[in-house]
């Protein structure tokens, strides 16, 4: 009799857990649908009332911008964790926590896709969704820890720890430890990104395989769990397969040439073109530089595909080294993409582009596209403010011809900020001082190879330019950092509340933060409609 009663309780708990999983899927799907509808309503709405602009002002802040979906997502988890749970046995709660772990794992995989269906549906590319992917990943790990802790504790109280000797439980332990390693790897995400990506890829594959083995325990665990983890596997395999197919297609007969540029930069020119919208980015693979690594860079142009990459460390430093040693040499290469959801610059009355350092590749791509459209569909009623902050005037040689083209357009205002020099040093590019003489001996010795390569590139370009040509680079130049608030205050002068202003920013984190704050201050009912686009990579 007792065994029949226990079987009934287990059956009821299983059905309740299956219902919770179904409700989770419906709720998350509804949340995605809600934001999809909101995106398309906003896209087709040409004029919005004051309260809508105030809402936009709230959403420009990163925390508040993700507050609504994250809060709704957490509410869904909390409600479904404690609804219709049989509290007579601790293991019943542990089972519910396990189901919630599985559901969140599936959503985390979905949000981590590079080729996400949310890009065309909700107007979000994978890098902007990556923040939500991380929130979901943290939630998954939290549920995993709770599930394992509560389950083992419940077995211990029931005197049934022998259950943990089952090979299915070993698989669960392997998955749990792997997720904890993945959590710890976030500490090296920014400093050792190449290692982080490799760990992330291997651990995700291991977790999906071990979890699939763990949950397949009919009739003790419903086969619906296999459907959930199978769905995550399908998402992941399709995404990887699509990317692999692109690598093969774009890599066939393709190669690139590397050209060193001043300021430790490398110009990469592919043999083949790529269909891409302005401001898109693509992943680059050059096996002779790094055999098993791919890295994302913004496309400067797509016919042929070109990149400007600033050397820092790892792959980018190796690129610059190869460019200096063998400039113009053809190397086998492939690109995969394009990625990115770009703002629509055709419907704006004014476009403000603010870039810092190598972030100018994004801004330059949009600006050149705007000038091209202006030539094809003149007259163009909109105007462009192009602001670029650089460490030295040498960086301007990355885009000499392009900057000249922008300055020649009457509707484009180019403003350059030099952050690494004072106004008394504005002719320093004509007579460059070797960088090694400005550094302490122990620092110069540590980076001797890099400094020597940089000097070789500087000498190469200085020998081919006259003093007038060097000093004739785009002006006026301001010395110091650009103030986003001042730039935007100047941009809105003369604009009416029915006008549209698009602010696109690409650069370091501090510049993006300043742009958020400055844009938020302008979100008032008597101001033009302002759209803020921040180009920040979250891969």
As a whole number, the mean pLDDT across the chain is 81
* For the chain, percent of residues with pLDDT exceeding 70: 82
Q: SS in 3 state form for 493-519? A: CCCCCCCEEEEEEECCHHHHHHHHHHH
* For the chain, percent of residues with pLDDT exceeding 90: 24
Termini Cα distance of the chain: 56
Q: Where are the domains of the chain?
A: 2-246, 253-339, 345-429+473-535
253-339 CATH fold: Elongation Factor Tu (Ef-tu); domain 3 (2.40.30)
Task: Note the pLDDT tens digit of each residue in 345-381.
Answer: 877 888 999 999 888 899 998 998 888 887 776 555 6
Task: Note the pLDDT tens digit of each residue in 135-160.
Answer: 999 999 999 999 999 999 988 888 88
Select from 376, 369, 375, 379 the least CA-distant residue to 345: 369
Task: Note the pLDDT tens digit of each residue in 471-513.
Answer: 445 556 788 888 888 889 888 888 888 888 889 999 888 888 8
Phi, psi for 62 (deg, rounded to 5) = -60, -50
Decide which of 184 and 427 is more confident: 184
pLDDT (0 to 100) of residue 499:
84
pLDDT exceeds 90 at position 43: no
Could you give the 3-state DSSP secondary structure of residue 185? helix
Q: Region 209-222: what's the mean pLDDT?
A: 83
Of the candidate ranges 5-19, 32-46, 180-194, the one whose mean pLDDT is the lowest = 32-46
Q: Where are the alpha helices (DSSP H) in 287-359?
A: 314-325
The interaxial angle of helices 193-215 and 314-325, nearest 10 deg, is 130
Q: Distance (Å, rounded) from C-alpha 522 to C-alpha 506?
A: 19
Global pTM value: 0.80
Dihedral angle of Cα 369, 375, 381, 382, to the nearest 10 degrees: 20
345-429+473-535 CATH fold: Rossmann fold (3.40.50)
pLDDT exceeds 80 at position 220: no
Of the candidate ranges 102-106, 278-282, 421-425, the one whose mean pLDDT is the lowest = 421-425
pLDDT exceeds 70 at position 434: no
Question: Do 198 and 230 meet the contact criterion of CB atoms below 8 Å apart?
Answer: no
């Amino acid at each position: 009799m007792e065994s029949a009663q226990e079987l009934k309780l287990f059956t009821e708990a299983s059905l309740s857990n299956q219902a919770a999983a179904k409700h989770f899927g419906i709720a998350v799907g509804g949340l995605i649908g809600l934001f999809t509808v909101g995106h398309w309503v906003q896209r087709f709405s040409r004029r919005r009332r004051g309260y809508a602009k105030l809402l936009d002002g709230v959403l420009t802040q990163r925390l508040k911008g993700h507050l609504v979906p994250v809060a709704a997502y957490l509410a869904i988890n909390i409600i479904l964790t404690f609804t219709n749970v049989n509290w007579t046995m601790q293991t019943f709660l542990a089972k519910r926590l396990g189901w919630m772990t599985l559901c969140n794992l599936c959503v985390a995989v979905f949000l981590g896709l590079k080729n996400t269906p949310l890009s065309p549906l909700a107007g979000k590319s994978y890098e902007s969704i990556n923040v939500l992917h991380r929130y979901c990943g943290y939630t998954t790990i939290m549920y995993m820890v709770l599930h394992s802790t509560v389950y083992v504790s419940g077995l211990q109280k029931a005197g049934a720890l022998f259950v943990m000797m089952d090979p299915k439980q070993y698989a669960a332990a392997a998955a749990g430890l792997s997720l904890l390693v993945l959590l710890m790897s976030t500490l090296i995400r920014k400093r050792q990104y190449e290692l982080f990506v490799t760990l992330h890829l291997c651990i995700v594959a291991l977790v999906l395989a071990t979890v699939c083995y763990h949950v397949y325990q009919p009739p003790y665990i419903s086969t619906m769990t296999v459907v959930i983890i199978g769905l995550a596997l399908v998402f992941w395999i399709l995404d990887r397969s699509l990317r692999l197919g692109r690598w093969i297609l774009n890599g066939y007969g393709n190669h690139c040439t590397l050209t060193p540029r001043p300021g430790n930069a490398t110009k990469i020119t592919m043999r083949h073109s790529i269909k891409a919208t302005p401001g898109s980015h693509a992943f680059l693979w050059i096996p002779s530089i790094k055999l098993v690594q791919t890295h994302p860079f913004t496309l400067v142009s797509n016919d042929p595909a070109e990149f400007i990459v600033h050397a820092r460390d790892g792959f980018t430093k190796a690129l610059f080294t190869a460019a200096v040693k063998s400039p113009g040499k053809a190397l086998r290469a492939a690109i995969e993409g394009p990625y990115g959801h770009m703002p629509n610059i055709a419907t704006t009355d004014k476009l403000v582009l603010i870039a810092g350092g190598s972030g100018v590749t994004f801004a330059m791509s949009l600006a050149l596209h705007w000038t091209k459209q202006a030539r094809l569909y003149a007259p163009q009623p909109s105007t462009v403010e192009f602001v670029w902050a650089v460490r030295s005037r040498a960086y301007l040689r990355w885009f000499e011809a392009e900057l000249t083209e922008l300055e020649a357009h009457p509707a484009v205002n180019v403003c350059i900020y030099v952050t690494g020099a004072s106004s008394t040093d504005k002719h320093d590019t004509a007579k460059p001082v070797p960088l090694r003489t400005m550094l302490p001996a122990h620092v110069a010795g540590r980076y001797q190879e890099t400094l020597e390569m940089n000097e070789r590139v500087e000498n190469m370009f200085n020998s081919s330019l006259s003093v007038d040509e060097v000093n004739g680079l785009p002006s006026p130049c301001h010395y110091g950092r650009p103030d986003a608030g001042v730039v935007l205050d100047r941009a809105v002068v003369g604009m009416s509340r029915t006008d549209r202003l698009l602010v696109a920013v690409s650069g370091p984190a501090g510049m993006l933060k300043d742009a958020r704050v400055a844009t938020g201050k302008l979100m008032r009912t008597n101001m033009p409609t302002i759209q803020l686009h921040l180009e920040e990579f979250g891969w």
